[in-house]
Structure 1
Amino acid sequence: MTTRPAHLTPSLILLVGLGGAAGTGARYALTSAVPPVDGGWPTATFVENLVGAFLLGLLLELLVRRGPESSGTRRLRLALGTGVLGGFTTFSTLAIEVERLGAAGHVGTGLAYGLVSVVLGFLAALLGVLAGARHHSWRAARLRLDPDVAGPVGPTAAGGVEEDAR
């Protein structure tokens, strides 16, 4: 059986759209709460992009640790990753803000903002991946210590602990 591509599946398109609307609404709320200062660091966009990068790294690491992508995992990835976090983060606004800072004579601030955003965005995503891996290790250790914590994990005939593929 062939899986239909996400861009041709109406229910997945709807999930991405609803997630994108939620993410964009959250970005709008943060941008409204932290208005820009002329010639100053675009704090709202900076925070949105760093938080979004961290959460995307975390989300993708948690999903990949669950094993092969199921239809449910695919829906989560598309709704939360592509939709919510795609709507919440904004590379286009980052690019426009760098250009506007430069055009207004704040070239140093614009260059620093662009460079720091990219470098810290990468590090935020990496921290999200590391946090997801740490959570997975913590959960696996917890399951080994207390097999009754979650699902089909328990003692084996050989006296060891049988782990599921989560």
Structure 2
Amino acid sequence: MEAQRPEAVGEPAEPGLDLSAPARRRGGTAHGQGPVLAVVAIGGAIGASARYGASLAWPVAPDGFPWPTLLVNAVGCAVIGVFMVLITEVWAAHRLVRPFFGTGVLGGFTTFSTYAVDIQRLVSGGHVRTGLAYLALTLFAALAAVWSAAWTTRRLMAWRRS
């Protein structure tokens, strides 16, 4: 069975990305994927460096609760909530802003892999309840952060317009 391409089902892989234009698919124009890949890579390096800096500034003992990762993920999700409201509902952003900041910087800053390793470290170290609490708390904090940041940003933008 052949896998369906996004354009075959009528939805782009990324909002605003038109895969039906052959020149874009090949990357043969200035509007190709090369600039997108470049800004994602640069943004990712910036975000990952910031996360690494946070881990150096706030080290965690081997059996300690991974507060820095939880905080980084919650802050990153809050910033994603603000950012997505601003660029989708308030301002028209350049086509490279979202891949640079959203996918690159914030994708590099937030970390599912460290979250998973922290849970595995806690559980294998005999701290099963702490690992499960961390699993649930991070999920709750991330969802609450993105929702509350988006909600607050919408309210502030509405208040500013009135």
TM-score (norm 2): 0.78
**Size of the alignment, in residue pairs?**
137
1:4 corresponds, among 24, 39, 58, to 24
Q: Name the stretch that deviates more: 130-139 or 104-113.
A: 130-139
Counterpart for residue 53 of structure 1: 77
* Range with bigger deviation, 96-105 or 57-66: 57-66
Alignment of 1:76-95 (within 5 A): 76-95=97-116
- How far did 1:54 drift? 0.4
Whichever residue aligns with residue 9 of structure 1, its letter is Q
Q: Can you give the 5+ residue segments of structure 1 that lack an aligned partner in the other structure? A: 142-166
Q: Is the 8 A contact 1:40 1:109 kept in 2?
A: no
State how 1:96-135 maps to structure 2 within 5 Å: 96-135=117-156
Matches of 1:111 and 1:4, distance apart in 2: 45
TM-score, scaled to structure 1: 0.76
2 CA distance for matches of 1:56 and 1:125? 6
Match of 1:152 in 2: none
Q: Which ranges in structure 2 are unaligned for 5 or more consecutive residues?
A: 1-17
Letter in 2 for 1:128: A
Which residue pairs with 1:150 in the alignment? none
Residue matched to 1:20? 44
Aligned Cα root-mean-square deviation (Å): 2.0
Distance in 2 between residues matched to 1:113 and 1:80, nearest whole Å: 27
Displacement of 1:40 in angstroms is: 1.4
Q: Which whole-Å CA distance do the structure 2 matches of 1:132 and 1:17 have between them?
A: 28
Q: Partner amino acid for 1:52? A: G
Q: Deviations over 1:100-132 (max 9, x none)?
A: 100000001000001000011100000111122
Aligned AA (1:75)? L
- For residue 64 of structure 1, what is the aligned residue in structure 2? 88
Say if 1:57 and 1:125, in contact at 8 Å, map to a contact too: yes
AA in 2 matched with 1:127 = S
- 1:139 Cα shift? 2.5
The letter for the 1-side match of 2:112 is F
Residue 3 of structure 2 is matched in structure 1 by none
* Contact map agreement 1:18 1:83 (CA 8 A) in 2: yes
Give identity over the alignment, percent: 36
Structure 1 segments (4+ residues) deviating >6 Å = none
**Corresponding residue for residue 158 of structure 1:** none
Verify the 8 A CA contact 1:65 1:136 in the aligned structure 2. Answer: no
Show the counterpart of 1:159. none
